[in-house]
Structure 1
Amino acid sequence: MRIHGTTGEPLIARFARDEVHRLKPLGGRPSFGLLRELARVVGNDCAVEIDANNSSVLWRLIGERVAVTIAAGEVRIRHGVHQVVVHKLSEGRRLQIVDSAHLNGVAGRDGAVCRPANVTATVPGSSPLPWPLRPFAEYEAAIGGSF
């Protein structure tokens, strides 16, 4: 047991005599608030990586920087001042936390890409293509495969 050089007594004895009565019970609360702030960029898969897990965000945020706050067992993702995702913190690793509403509007989300047949595509610097765009499934069928 170490004797303090100034007081000449063991540290644990001084703690037990002078300080232990000042401690209060925590009442089931954690001893301190664990809070983490992270910055992430939304990947092409509409997700951000948080502790080896992927959490989806709205597809329109692909390539944007978002702020991630982890506290009280929750993950909160904000873009600017807008909160875009709140979910429970995952216990495991390599999990995919996906809200299907985040993918609404992504090309091919519900199967084949489909555009109205009367829409014509344009290539920058050229005139509109002479043929209408067709559902992607028709192209797949024509070449005998799927992507």
Structure 2
Amino acid sequence: MERFRLSEAPALKPIAGRPPFQAARELIRRVQADCAVEIDGSAYSVPWRLIGETVRVTIADGVVRIHRGIHKVAVHLICVGRRGRVVDPTHFEGLTGFKPSRAAELALSPVSPPSPTLLRPLGEYEAIVGGGF
């Protein structure tokens, strides 16, 4: 079966009340303790009251929309690359210890990998396990 090309999408017509073709992804995620959901290696903030809850994420047209039930709880532009963190400071309001003046600190820079000097040589692992790979 041949796949549709994105260039063909505008020519598609709605059928029986269904919306027209749209390239979108829908995911289910659990809100982590850092008030964020992970999507494609990047973190997107969600209101802190939803920690531990399951949310529905829709990605379309360069925008990430996060829903809890029928309510939209967050909207973010897609983060380009991996290990990014997209934060809306209003998601932390009411949280004990939150200071609006420190909101810029919430948008942490991507986590850098450990320096190669801290990694063990593969020979050490081979010695422990016994044998080479």
- Is the TM value for this pair above 0.5? yes
Other-structure match for 1:137:
none
- RMSD between aligned alpha carbons? 2.3
Distance 2:97 2:87 in 1: 16
Other-structure match for 2:75:
86
Count of residues in Structure 1 that have an aligned counterpart in Structure 2: 85
Structure whose alpha-carbon radius of gyration is higher = 1
Other-structure match for 1:105:
94
The residue matched to 1:101 in structure 2 has which SS?
A: helix
Other-structure match for 1:50:
39
Opposite residue 39 of structure 1, the aligned amino acid is I
Opposite residue 40 of structure 1, the aligned amino acid is R
Other-structure match for 1:21:
none
**Structure number with higher relative contact order (C-alpha < 8 Å, ≥ 6 residues apart):** 2
TM-score, normalization by structure 2: 0.58
- Matched-pair identity in %: 52
User: Shift of residue 91 of structure 1?
Assistant: 1.3
The one of 70, 74, 80 equivalent to 2:59 is 70
User: Shift of residue 70 of structure 1?
Assistant: 0.5
User: Shift of residue 33 of structure 1?
Assistant: 3.4
Other-structure match for 1:41:
30
User: Shift of residue 54 of structure 1?
Assistant: 0.4
Q: Does 1:60 align with 2:49?
A: yes
TM-score, normalization by structure 1: 0.52
Say which structure is richer in helix.
2
Moved over 3 A (4+): none
Gaps spanning 5+ residues in structure 1: where?
A: 1-25, 112-147
The residue matched to 1:66 in structure 2 has which SS?
A: strand
Matches within 5 A, 1:93-132: 93-110=82-99
